[in-house]
Amino acid sequence: MNVDSAGQSRTNWAGNVTYGAADFYRPATIGQLQGVVARAAQIKVLATGHSFNDMADSPGAQVNLADLIPDVEVDSAAGLARVPAGLSYGQLAPRLDDKGFALRNMASLPHISVAGACATATHGSGLANQNLAASIAALEFVTADGDLVELSRGDDSFPGAVVHLGALGVVTRLVLETVPSFEVSQWVYEGLPLEVLDDHFTEIMSSGYSVSMFTDWRAPRLTQIWIKQLHDDPNPYATPVPLAATAPPVAEAPWFAATPAPGERNPVPGASADSCTSQLGVPGRWYERLPHFRSDFTPSAGDELQSEFLLPIEQAAPAIHTLNQISDSLAPVTWISEFRVIKADELWLSPSYRQDTVAFHFTWVPDMAAVLPVVTLVEQQLAPFAARSHWGKVFTATPETLHARYERLPDFLALARHYDPAGKFRNAYTARYLGR
């Protein structure tokens, strides 16, 4: 087991958080992990570091699970995959595909860890696609006293334990639902006026298996629309919504008021498309098209910050116009914003808990002093829509607001007290936002 003591600073991927944990462990076995957790006074998991706040920090120790045996066990008859928590989606997806299976959806970046993404309800897009955590059928974790516990769908506390923010224990394995492998083609359109979304938001979002809209707030239009369509695949599991009559069969003509991109694009206007998944209708495996970025592209320590706010999908168009009212404040600090949709689920701390949602994602310039006032302004603009903050990104909501938005938060806190009565997995983040 690798042990790193104080003296070597660690930061998150974006570099905006320097972790203060004195010790850092990389156990090679579950037994070693149980010993580390049992002996620690306080501890948190640090995975791929793609949270933009101090969720993964600890006043005691951090532990990383990347050295655990990375075996993926697939139950073909049940369509389930048992996955070690240290794997990233980029590592997991080809292994599933080799066995003829797929995940229903992926996030835009495949480099994030499976366990970390699920712990914060990270998502892709699609009217019939839930967030990534909703694919979990069971999870195994080490509790504060070092015991190994497994919860499965159907257990009373399961919906509260899936999106857990690292507050219950250290997740070691996940059992994920899979579907038969499928192929996807991807098209990009440009220049759609925002006013078109007043009457056609849902129609456009249903024009593909997964659809993303982008704007930089520098004009009242979408800079791009990315449409990921199933490619000649009869698989019913991968066809949860019919394509709209207005879906572009080929990118050769204007669609609504948008025009087809003549070449491959990066979501950030003017940035190189070399790191992006193939477009222009070229078919590829599900894991090579559902993310926006290629898994073989290693992202640098990102020159960006991120925020995301989710609200009922029926409020999408009014909320877009409300945000456009502050475009003069948004544009100077925004690299790009993305609109996505997520199907409702039953997970207590999911931003899509019992409501189909639209997500407004902001990729900000790496200047926290300039960005934070604008984050607060966005939260004020979206307050009438009861927007829920993404747990792993930059937000300024108060505990009172979070308790109002996440109605099952009191139940989750009771669950945390059950599994962690002495507060081994508490930190400044949980004290600030959960009051624990």
Instruction: Return the percent helix, strand and coil in the chain, to nearest 5.
Output: 25, 25, 45
Q: Which of 146, 139, 142 is nearest to 168 (CA)?
A: 142
- 425, 44 Cβ separation under 8 angstroms: yes
Lowest-confidence range among 206-210, 300-304, 322-326? Answer: 300-304
Strand pairing class (221-230; 284-285): unpaired
- Split at pLDDT 50, 70, 90, the class of 253 is low
Does 3.90.1150.10 match the CATH number of domain 73-180? no
Cα–Cα distances (Å) from 331 to 136, 363, 393, 428, in that order, read 37, 11, 19, 31
Instruction: Specify the pLDDT at position 297.
Output: 82
Instruction: Specify the pLDDT at position 14.
Output: 92
What pLDDT, in 10s, does the model give residues 206-245? 999 999 999 999 999 999 999 999 986 443 333 333 333 3
302 has a pLDDT exceeding 80? no
Strand pairing class (23-26; 61-63): parallel
Q: Which of 111, 33, 21, 38 is nearest to 68 (CA)?
A: 33
First and final C-alpha spacing in the chain: 31
- 189, 224 Cβ separation under 8 angstroms: yes
3-state helix/strand/coil string of 317-357: HHHHHHHHCCHHHHHHHEEEEEEEEECCECCCCCCCECCCE
Classified as helix, coil or strand, 314 is helix
Q: What is the DSSP letter of 236?
A: G
251 has a pLDDT exceeding 90? no
Give burial (CB, 10 Å; 0-12/13-18/19+) of 410. Answer: exposed
Instruction: Specify the pLDDT at position 240.
Output: 34
Instruction: Specify the pLDDT at position 435.
Output: 83
Instruction: Specify the pLDDT at position 231.
Output: 80
What pLDDT, in 10s, does the model give residues 383-392? 999 999 999 9
Pick 254 or 348 by higher pLDDT: 348
> For 2-63, which CATH class?
alpha beta
318 has a pLDDT exceeding 70? yes
Lowest-confidence range among 162-166, 231-235, 346-350, 360-364? Answer: 231-235
User: What is the average pLDDT value for the chain, to the nearest integer?
Assistant: 92
- Split at pLDDT 50, 70, 90, the class of 77 is very high
Instruction: Specify the pLDDT at position 321.
Output: 97
Rounded to 10 deg, the angle between the 316-324 and 197-205 helix axes is: 120
Residue 133 has φ and ψ, to the nearest 5°, of -65, -25
Residue type, 335: W
Instruction: Specify the pLDDT at position 5.
Output: 55
Average pLDDT over residues 46-63: 95
6 has a pLDDT exceeding 80? no
> What's the rounded Cα separation, in Å, for the pair 5 and 25?
9
Residue type, 27: P
> What's the rounded Cα separation, in Å, for the pair 214 and 221?
9
- 87, 72 Cβ separation under 8 angstroms: yes
Using only C-alpha atoms, what is the Rg of the chain?
21
Average pLDDT over residues 275-297: 94
> What's the rounded Cα separation, in Å, for the pair 388 and 120?
12
- Split at pLDDT 50, 70, 90, the class of 257 is confident
247 has a pLDDT exceeding 60? no
Q: Would you kindly state where each structural domain of the chain is located, as residue ranges? A: 2-63, 73-180
What pLDDT, in 10s, does the model give residues 82-109? 999 999 999 999 999 999 999 999 999 9
8 has a pLDDT exceeding 90? no
Pick 249 or 213 by higher pLDDT: 213
- Split at pLDDT 50, 70, 90, the class of 138 is very high
